[in-house]
Amino acid sequence: MLASSRCNKLALHFVVGAYYLLRVIGQESLKRCEPPLRKKEERRRIRKVIET
């Protein structure tokens, strides 16, 4: 049991490290990149949607 417990601890440390690394990369990419441009959507009346 002791060996599997050590293996689980080691795997957990690697997973947590990878999680934080990906989190930092994601935060940095949000700081550097401009948000994607989106076309402003307009609301349409239900009758116009049904007629088209």
User: What's residue 34's pLDDT?
Assistant: 67
Instruction: Kindly tell me if the per-residue pLDDT of 43 is higher than 90.
Output: no
Q: Mean pLDDT, to the nearest integer, of 11-39?
A: 85
Other residues' Cβ atoms within 10 Å of the Cβ of residue 19 = 10
Instruction: Kindly tell me if the per-residue pLDDT of 49 is higher than 70.
Output: no
Burial zone of 14 (CB within 10 Å; 0-12 exposed, 13-18 middle, 19+ buried): exposed
CA angle 9, 13, 15 (to 5 degrees): 115
pTM above 0.85, yes or no: no
The band of 5, judged by pLDDT with boundaries at 50, 70 and 90, is confident
Provide the residue ranges of all domains of the chain, joining segments of one domain with +. Answer: 1-31
